[in-house]
């Protein structure tokens, strides 16, 4: 607290620049030739602004009333077309999600990080690390996050974590089903689908009997990994239920099922249970490399052999973070309503990535605001026995309000025209015009994507501009007020 105390010492005001007085009053009496010089100095900047801001802005408004290659005026047709497609609605909805969620969350995150950075030991290092993503190009950051969010758990870290946990809790079987397969679709000979994703032998068997269970749709690679050997029916054994589970597919004779042909392999390491006629499990075993199994001494009565469901459990195949699907609890609504009300997963993924990028910036701005706070008030709060949380809520945040507002408004403008992360992060199937698209990315696709339509793109750019105006005016007014 020593530093704080020292800072609280009253300091003399530094001698400021002399206030302009007489010199300025003379300005009104200048001759126009004197203006000429200043105009000359202004000219380069003015011309630059006219050429790259004012002219393109006017041209954009003009183009928005023209057809796709700006050769024919079409009136308001472009605007009508935009407002009558679901694509624009989706883009608009995404912008709304961005504006509602992102600025608020990133400001709060910045505040939390800034307050934390005052408490940690290596504050500078901490701030540097958090700030680092701001320095990266958004494209580079997006590419990093496309890897993190990859569907394939072998590539995407996020899915890899989920997969690891999933496999630990609930390990996959030796014969995981591939897409489109059900345990029932694997059965060819001597088996039928049983309850709960199991397979059960069709015929009952008594001790001393033998059963054959044929399965199909098993990849040769799975077999070579498990070290499968050619299928051979075991000899009957007195007092035991024996049998064979084999891959009922022969390349030489792909249409023949039900027979054990040369070149067909047994299915090793398949977990089986023996069911009594009343459904009780009376034994369990696993097949050997030849696909053979044996339940010794099951006792009297007739039995069914069950292939356990655990054999077919598929490994977690990944969440499609960047995909076109949306978490829509609104399936019974109209398509337009669905488009407006759903929150696609991709938006959440993009917001997460964008938070990582911008949290450092808001943290630094808020930290600067914190450093400039009147410490006396904070001290007073402490002396009065306020807890940390109370201090933050009742003292720090209200005093920081101007800074937080600036951060919030800046971020609102930032995400209203959000573009780079959408283009770079979303899987292509979720854009253009898909679940990820925003107004700015649609402007780009309409104007420069597959079909060039300057009219539509310009019209959308004008709409986007109109949407940004309130936030802009608010910010301008604030800056004006501060002066």
Partner 1 sequence: MATATARPLRLEVKPKWRGGPTSRIGAALAVSALLASMASTASPAGAATLSTSARTAHIGGSVSVWAEWTSTEQQDFEAALKPFESLTGVKVNYSGKGSNMDTAIDTAVAGGSPPDVALVPDPGTVISLAKKGAIQPVGPVIGSEASNYGAAWKSLVTYNGKLYGVWFKGANKNTIWYNPAEFAAAGITAPPKTWEQLLKDAATLKAAGITPFSLCTDIGWPVADFWQNVYLKTAGAANYNKLAAHQISWESPTVTTAFNTLAQIVGNQGYLLGGTKGALSEKYPECVDKVFPKAGATPQAAMVFEGDFVVSEITGNSPNYTAGTKGKGGAACTTSVSATPCYDFFPFPAPAADQKNNSAIQGAGDVAMLLKPTPAAKALIKYLGSPQGAAIWAKAGGFTSPNKKVPLSAYPDPVTRADAQELQSATSFVFSLDDLQGSWEPSLWQDMLNFVKNPSPANIRSIQATMQKQATAALGH
Q: Which residues bind partner 1 (CB under 8 A)?
A: 68, 81, 87, 151-152, 178-181, 185, 216-222, 247, 249-254, 317, 320, 322-325, 427-429, 432-434, 445-446, 449-453, 456
Q: Select 128 or 178, whichever has its Cβ closest to partner 1.
A: 178
Query: CB of 162 within 8 A of CB of 319?
Result: yes
Q: Select 21 or 335, whichever has its Cβ closest to partner 1.
A: 335
Angstrom CA distances, 81 to 88, 334, 462, stand at 9, 20, 14
* C-alpha–C-alpha distance, residues 191 and 200, integer Å: 5
Shortest Cβ 254–partner 1 spacing (Å):
4
Q: Select 143 or 378, whichever has its Cβ closest to partner 1.
A: 143
DSSP state of 392: I
Shortest Cβ 133–partner 1 spacing (Å):
25
Q: Taken in order 366, 368, 374, 376, is the CA torsion positive or negative?
A: positive
Q: Select 170 or 219, whichever has its Cβ closest to partner 1.
A: 219
Query: CB of 272 within 8 A of CB of 239?
Result: no
Query: CB of 396 within 8 A of CB of 375?
Result: no
Q: How many Cα atoms are found within 13 Å in the side-chain-facing hemisphere of 457?
A: 20
Q: Select 250 or 294, whichever has its Cβ closest to partner 1.
A: 250
Q: Select 16 or 254, whichever has its Cβ closest to partner 1.
A: 254
C-alpha torsion angle, residues 161, 164, 167, 169 (rounded to 10) = -80
* C-alpha–C-alpha distance, residues 108 and 393, integer Å: 12
Shortest Cβ 50–partner 1 spacing (Å):
22
| Three-state secondary-structure class, residue 300 | coil
Query: CB of 68 within 8 A of CB of 453?
Result: yes
* C-alpha–C-alpha distance, residues 408 and 426, integer Å: 25
Phi, psi of 11 (to 5 degrees): -110, 145
Q: Select 77 or 468, whichever has its Cβ closest to partner 1.
A: 77
Shortest Cβ 179–partner 1 spacing (Å):
3
Q: Select 33 or 335, whichever has its Cβ closest to partner 1.
A: 335
* C-alpha–C-alpha distance, residues 424 and 138, integer Å: 9
Phi, psi of 61 (to 5 degrees): -60, -40
Paired tokens of 287: 């097949």
Shortest Cβ 190–partner 1 spacing (Å):
17
Shortest Cβ 151–partner 1 spacing (Å):
4
Shortest Cβ 69–partner 1 spacing (Å):
9
Angstrom CA distances, 472 to 61, 131, 215, 246, 469, stand at 19, 26, 67, 71, 5
Shortest Cβ 427–partner 1 spacing (Å):
5
Shortest Cβ 433–partner 1 spacing (Å):
5
Q: Select 70 or 200, whichever has its Cβ closest to partner 1.
A: 70
Shortest Cβ 178–partner 1 spacing (Å):
6
How far does the chain reach from its first CA to its final CA, in angstroms? 33
Shortest Cβ 138–partner 1 spacing (Å):
20
Q: Select 325 or 391, whichever has its Cβ closest to partner 1.
A: 325
Q: Select 244 or 442, whichever has its Cβ closest to partner 1.
A: 442
Shortest Cβ 351–partner 1 spacing (Å):
20
**H helix runs in 287-383, sequence order:** 335-341, 345-371, 375-383
Query: CB of 97 within 8 A of CB of 327?
Result: no
**H helix runs in 55-188, sequence order:** 55-63, 77-83, 86-117, 123-135, 138-148, 157-169, 183-186
Q: Select 111 or 462, whichever has its Cβ closest to partner 1.
A: 462
313, 308, 311, 314: which is closest to 200 by C-alpha?
308
């Amino acid at each position: 607290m020593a530093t704080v105390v020292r800072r609280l010492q009253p300091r003399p005001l530094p001698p400021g620049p002399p206030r302009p007085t007489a010199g300025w009053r003379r300005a009104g009496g200048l001759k126009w030739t004197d203006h000429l010089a200043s105009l000359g100095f202004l000219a380069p900047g003015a011309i630059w602004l006219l050429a790259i801001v004012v002219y393109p802005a006017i041209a954009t408004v003009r183009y928005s009333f023209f057809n796709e290659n700006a050769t024919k005026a079409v009136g308001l047709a472009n605007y009508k077309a935009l407002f009558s497609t679901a694509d624009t609605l989706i883009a608009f909805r995404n912008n709304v999600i961005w504006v509602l969620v992102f600025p608020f969350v990133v400001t709060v995150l910045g505040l939390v990080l800034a307050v934390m950075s005052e408490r940690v030991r290596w504050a500078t290092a901490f701030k540097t690390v958090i700030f680092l993503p701001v320095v990266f190009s958004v494209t580079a950051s997006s590419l990093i996050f496309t890897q993190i969010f990859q569907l394939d758990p072998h590539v995407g870290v996020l899915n890899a974590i989920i997969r690891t946990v999933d496999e630990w809790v609930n390990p996959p079987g030796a014969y995981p089903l591939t897409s489109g397969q059900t345990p029932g679709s694997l059965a060819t000979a001597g088996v039928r689908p049983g309850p709960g994703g199991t397979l059960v032998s069709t015929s009952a068997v008594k001790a001393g009997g033998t059963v054959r269970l044929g399965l199909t749709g098993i990849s040769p690679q799975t077999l070579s990994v498990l070290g499968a050997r050619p299928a051979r029916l075991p000899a009957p054994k007195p007092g035991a239920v024996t049998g064979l589970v084999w891959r009922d597919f022969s390349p030489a004779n792909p249409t023949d099922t039900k027979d054990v042909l040369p070149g067909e392999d047994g299915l090793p390491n398949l977990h089986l249970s023996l069911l009594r006629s009343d459904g009780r499990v009376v034994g369990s075993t696993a097949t050997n490399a030849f696909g053979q199994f044996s339940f010794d001494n099951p006792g009297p009565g007739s039995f069914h052999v069950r292939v356990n469901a655990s054999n077919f459990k598929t490994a977690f195949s990944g969440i499609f973070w960047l995909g076109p699907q949306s978490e829509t609890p609104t399936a019974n609504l109209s398509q337009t309503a669905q488009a407006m009300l759903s929150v696609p997963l991709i938006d959440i993924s993009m917001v997460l990535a964008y938070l990582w990028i911008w949290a450092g910036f808001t943290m630094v701005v808020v930290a600067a605001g914190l450093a400039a706070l009147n410490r006396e008030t904070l001290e007073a709060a402490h002396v009065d026995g306020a807890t940390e949380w109370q201090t933050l809520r009742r003292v720090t945040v209200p005093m920081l309000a101007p800074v937080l507002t600036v951060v919030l408004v800046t971020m609102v403008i930032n995400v209203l025209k959000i573009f780079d992360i959408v283009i770079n992060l979303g899987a292509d199937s979720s854009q253009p015009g898909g679940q990820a698209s925003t107004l700015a990315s649609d402007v780009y696709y309409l104007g420069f994507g597959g079909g060039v339509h300057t009219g539509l793109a310009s019209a959308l750019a004008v709409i986007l501009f109109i949407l940004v105006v309130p936030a802009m005016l608010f910010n301008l007014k604030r800056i004006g007020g501060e002066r």
